[in-house]
Amino acid sequence: MMEQPTAEQYVESLLEQDEQLEKVTKSIADSGMRDISVAKGYGKLLTLLVKMTGARSVMEIGALGGYSGICLARGLGEQGKLYSLELKQEYADMAHRNLKEAGLGDKVEYRVGEALDSLAQLEAEGLKFDLFFIDADKGNYPNYLEWAIKLANPGAVIVGDNTLMHGDSMNPEEQGNRVVKMREFNKSIASDPRLEGVILPAYDGLAIARIR
C-alpha cells in the first residue's frame, strides 16, 4: 500500500521542476553548508508576493546560498532591486554566484556583516523597502521586525520564515532565548496594531504581515 504524502509533499508534487533552484541546493550541499533554505513551496510564494505587491525594493535578511534570493529577485520588475544582508562573506559570495548564474546578479546588492549594523547603515542612507524577508538568527527576529517597520514604505509586506521552529514555539517546556524571541515575534505579527498579519502553519511556519 502506497504511503499517503503529506500536504507539503502533495503540493510540491504539483510544482514544475526548477533546475536553477536545484543547482543552488546542490551547490549548498557540495560546499558542506547546512541547507536551511526556504522550503520549495514557500520559495514559490515569495516570488508571487513580490509580483503581486509590485515591490520594487526588497530586502532579505539571511542570504545563505541564494535560494530565497533567486525566488525574491524573480518577482522583481525591470527596475526592481534586492538588498541581501548576510553575516558571512563566503555565504554572500556563493549566493551572488548562484544569482549570477540564474541571470539575476544585476538585481542584487549584498551587505556583509552583522545585520543590525547593516540595517542602521541602510537607514542612514535613507533607503526604504516594499517587502522584507527575514530568515536569519532567530533570537533577533523581534529586532529585525522593528527595523523592517522603521524602513518600510507605506503598505510594505514583511515575511518571516521558521516561525514554528520545528515545534519548539508551541512547546511550553522550551524556554531558550531563541524560542522566547520567536514567540515574541509571532505575537507581534498576529497582534501588533501597526500590522495586519497571519502565520501559515505549513512546513516550519511562515509569517506574513502588511504594515497598516
Task: For residue range 82-129, list pLDDT tens digits in order.
Answer: 999 999 999 999 999 999 999 999 999 999 999 999 999 999 999 999
pLDDT in tens, 130-176: 999 999 999 999 999 999 999 999 999 999 999 999 999 999 999 99
Q: What is the pTM of this model?
A: 0.94
Distance CA 122, CA 11 (A): 37
Residue with cell 515575534: 185
pLDDT at 31 over 90: no
* CA distance linking residue 82 with residue 58, whole number of Å: 5
The pLDDT value given to residue 29: 86
Give CA–CA dist 71/54, Å, rounded: 14
State the pLDDT at residue 34: 77
pLDDT digits (tens, 9 = 90+) for 171-207: 999 999 999 999 999 999 999 999 999 999 999 999 9
**Rounded to an integer, what distance in angstroms lies between the CA atom of residue 192 and that of residue 54?**
24
pLDDT for 32 equals 78
> What tens digit of pLDDT does each residue of 170-180 get?
999 999 999 99
**How far, in Å, are 43, 77, 106, 108 from residue 81 at the CA level?**
18, 8, 8, 6
Other C-beta atoms lying within 10 Å of the C-beta of residue 129:
21
Q: How far apart are CA 82 and CA 55, in angstroms?
A: 10
Q: Do 57 and 81 form a contact (C-beta atoms < 8 A)?
A: yes
Helix (H) or strand (E) holding 31: helix 19-31
